[in-house]
């Protein structure tokens, strides 16, 4: 690669050496070495700068169908679904620096990612039509309520949520009053803390902020080959007939199988995940890197652990799947032993999924010609995908919400038109 090409791409992207280093997860000294011709950057890094430039050129629509903000954004799974329905992201918040790195590598915005949303004044967040948030589920403390009663002070659902990250969602909704929102969480949110957590959430959204909400637990198994149930809460500022139960999702029985997301021998080798059978750089068949195959020691431990719990009448154990099976839920702890999803291998111990296969399992790579950039270590990648959402499920939800969002936007403009006349 010509030294000038990398430097030109950096400058066309309006990035300093320090910004480039942060984006790629390297040191500024490394970038200087690349530009001085002392060493060459990975092809993936060069492609990232090219993609970033192309994205900036293509995604400059000053009049998108609607705008949204992406809170607790992770690696952008919810965002991808709403961009597919004509939305434009105008604000992003994510505290984890490694998730930020993956997010920046795949979305090339003109706004910075805000780390700590608790320190952000809602007035500093751009106006938006939709709020998106995969907020963490924390226990809502009821400490202090009795004291407030004794002092004659009011306490409501919003007050009860203080001290949790959900409270930050509430204060932004209260300030901006967007047309709609979508919140995502684990299925057990409804039963968390004996139902008090969910009651607090619903009470704050409906009773205190006045939004009309609809909830549904959705299994992504109809779209990707894993059992993954999540609860979604959609809300609209104005009353409408939006109802999650009217949305026909693909049934789990008809969904894809694990073989659809596994590496194929005919694929071009991808460094770290797969190795070429022949010379590097050739398009010959590839094989899975041996590092993903379980060691004899770990495989024996998992088998012994499963046998012990089976004898005790428990259901704990590893999840071994073949190409025609569906997998268990990918979790953020997958990096530890990969036990929930192990791939059968003929003549050898089973293996973990590669991070690329995890991207496909979550719907980030819709086909084998698409490869999202994964600029972090395997451990970080497993955590990120395990904490993310099933992208095609979000895409379906966004499609269904879109006409309601646009309708509420249109109603919002009517008073302005009348005033102008």
Catalytic residues: 137
3-state helix/strand/coil string of the chain = CCHHHHHHHHHHCCCCHHHHHHHHCCCHHHHHHHHCCCCCCCHHHHHHHHHHHHHHHHCCCCCCCEEEEEECCCCCHHHHHHHCCCEEEEEEECCCHHHHHHHHHHCCCCCCEECCHHHCCHHHCCCCCEEEECCCCCCCCCCCHHHHHHCCCCCCHHHHCCCCCHHHHHHHHHHHCCCEEEEEEEHHHHCHHHHHHHHHHHHHHHHHCCCEEEEEEEEHHHCCCECCEEEEEEEECCCCCCCHHHCCCCCHHHCCCHHHCCCCCCCCCCCCCEEECCCCCCCCCEEECHHHECCHHHHHHHHHHHHHHHHCCCCCCCCEECCCCCECCCCCCHHHHCCCCEECCCCCCCECCCHHHHHHHCCCCCCCCCCCCCCCCHHHHHHHHHCCCCHHHHHHHHHHHHHHHHHHHHHHHHHHHHHHC
């Amino acid at each position: 690669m010509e030294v000038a090409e990398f430097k030109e791409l950096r400058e066309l992207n309006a990035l300093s050496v320090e910004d480039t280093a942060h984006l790629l997860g390297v040191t500024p000294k490394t970038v200087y070495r690349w530009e001085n011709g002392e060493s060459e950057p990975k092809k993936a890094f060069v492609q990232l700068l090219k993609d970033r430039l192309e994205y900036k050129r293509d995604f400059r629509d000053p009049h998108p169908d609607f705008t949204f903000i992406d809170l607790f954004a992770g690696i952008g799974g919810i965002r991808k679904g709403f961009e597919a329905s004509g939305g434009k992201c105008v604000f992003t918040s994510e505290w984890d620096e490694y998730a930020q790195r993956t997010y920046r590598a795949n979305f090339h915005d003109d706004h910075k990612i805000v780390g700590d949303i608790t320190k952000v004044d809602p007035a500093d967040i751009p106006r938006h039509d939709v709020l998106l948030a995969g907020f963490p589920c924390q226990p809502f403390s009821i400490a202090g309520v009795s004291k407030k009663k004794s002092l004659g002070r009011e306490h409501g659902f919003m007050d009860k949520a203080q001290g949790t990250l959900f409270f930050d969602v509430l204060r932004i909704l209260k300030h901006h009053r967007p047309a709609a929102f979508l919140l995502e969480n684990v299925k057990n949110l409804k039963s968390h803390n004996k139902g008090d957590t969910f009651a607090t959430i619903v009470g704050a959204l409906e009773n205190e902020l006045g939004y009309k909400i609809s909830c549904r637990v959705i299994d992504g198994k109809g779209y990707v080959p894993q059992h993954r149930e999540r609860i979604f809460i959609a809300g609209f500022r104005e009353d409408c007939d939006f109802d999650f139960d009217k949305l026909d999702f693909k049934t789990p029985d008809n969904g894809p199988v694990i073989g659809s997301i596994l590496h194929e021998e005919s694929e071009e080798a991808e460094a770290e995940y797969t190795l070429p059978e022949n010379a590097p750089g050739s398009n010959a068949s590839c094989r899975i890197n041996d590092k993903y195959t379980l060691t004899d020691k770990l495989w024996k431990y998992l088998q012994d652990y499963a046998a012990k719990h089976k004898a005790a009448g428990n259901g704990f154990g590893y999840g071994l799947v073949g190409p025609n099976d569906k997998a268990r839920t990918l979790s953020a702890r997958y990096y530890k032993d990969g036990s929930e999803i192990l791939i059968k291998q003929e003549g050898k111990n089973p293996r973990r999924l590669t991070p690329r296969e995890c991207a496909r399992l979550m719907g980030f790579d819709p086909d084998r010609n698409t490869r999202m950039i994964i600029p972090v270590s395997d451990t970080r990648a497993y955590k990120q995908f395990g904490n993310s959402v099933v992208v095609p499920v979000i895409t379906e939800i966004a499609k269904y919400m879109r006409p309601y969002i646009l309708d509420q936007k249109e109603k919002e403009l009517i008073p302005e038109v009348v005033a102008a006349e």
